[in-house]
Amino acid sequence: NAQAYLNLQGQTTAKLGGSKNSSSFLKATTTTLLHTISESEKASYVAHINSYLGDDPFLKQYLPLDPATNDLFNLAKDGVLLCKLINVAVPGTIDERAINTKRVLNPWERNENHTLCLNSAKAIGCTVVNIGTQDLIEGRPHLVLGLISQIIKIQLLADLNLKKTPQLVELVEDSNDVEELLSLPPEKVLLKWMNFHLQKAGYKKPVSNFSSDVKVFCHSYSTVYLGACSTIAVSL
């Protein structure tokens, strides 16, 4: 069954030369030897994958994934999930006929999938300088999550424009504002949108980034806004 396959993925990695400590490394819920893994972040990505890929002809036999397990990392080891996620973010990036989708792949087929994944991820705007095919084959949590985060961010920000999100018209007062808004990259538009609503709610200090500023805001403002900020921080 699907769970047996995911378990097999984990065992196969060890046999193909994965770290001797890969089992304990993957089971670390908060901190590995060198890297911290956010369980809430992982749960958010799992929910996104379950939602957008749940009907995929190949992946539906393994979905929904359970965020409380390491199924995400095990499923990512053959490269199919990541390739499919790239096509969700930017449709048509990968010709899906080029993805090896057999139930059990040999090492060369896995490597082909991950090479295709990394080249395609770079093509749509992801930074993949510090990620290699072996990292993905071994399902290294911090690198898998980092790549998934970038792919999902590209997907979510793609609709952030006046045509697809007409609510953004609230941000403009005249034609000059429209021109400025149209020239901004999606992440800057989202910051502008966030600051617009924070100002309306009485929050005076502008947010200039989605990392440190959001953390300060979340710790200093109400519980309602804490939930909203957490959602934004996880999504991005």
Residue-range domains of the chain with CATH = 2-157 (1.10.418.10), 166-235 (no CATH)
| Preceding amide of 64 cis, omega within 30 | yes
- Is the separation of the CB atoms in 131 and 147 below 8 Å? yes
Residue 37 DSSP one-character state:
-
The per-residue pLDDT for range 3-37, each reduced to its tens digit, is: 656 666 565 554 544 443 333 333 334 444 456 77
**What is the rounded average pLDDT of the residues 214-221?**
57
Beta bridge partners of 31: 36
- Is the separation of the CB atoms in 189 and 181 below 8 Å? yes
Closest C-alpha among 100, 103, 90 to residue 155? 90
- Is the separation of the CB atoms in 159 and 96 below 8 Å? no
pLDDT at residue 107 tops 90: yes
The per-residue pLDDT for range 37-82, each reduced to its tens digit, is: 788 889 999 999 999 999 999 999 999 999 999 999 999 999 999 9
Q: How far is CA 161 from CA 165, 182, 193, 197, in A?
A: 6, 7, 11, 17
User: What is the number of other CB atoms lying within 10 angstroms of the CB of residue 88?
Assistant: 18
Amino acid at 173: E
**Does residue 67 come out as left (phi exceeding 0), alpha (psi in the -120 to 50 range) or beta?**
alpha
Give residue 223's pLDDT band: very low, low, confident or very high (50, 70, 90). very low
- Is the separation of the CB atoms in 105 and 116 below 8 Å? no
- pTM: predicted TM-score of the whole model, two decimal places: 0.70
Give residue 115's pLDDT band: very low, low, confident or very high (50, 70, 90). very high
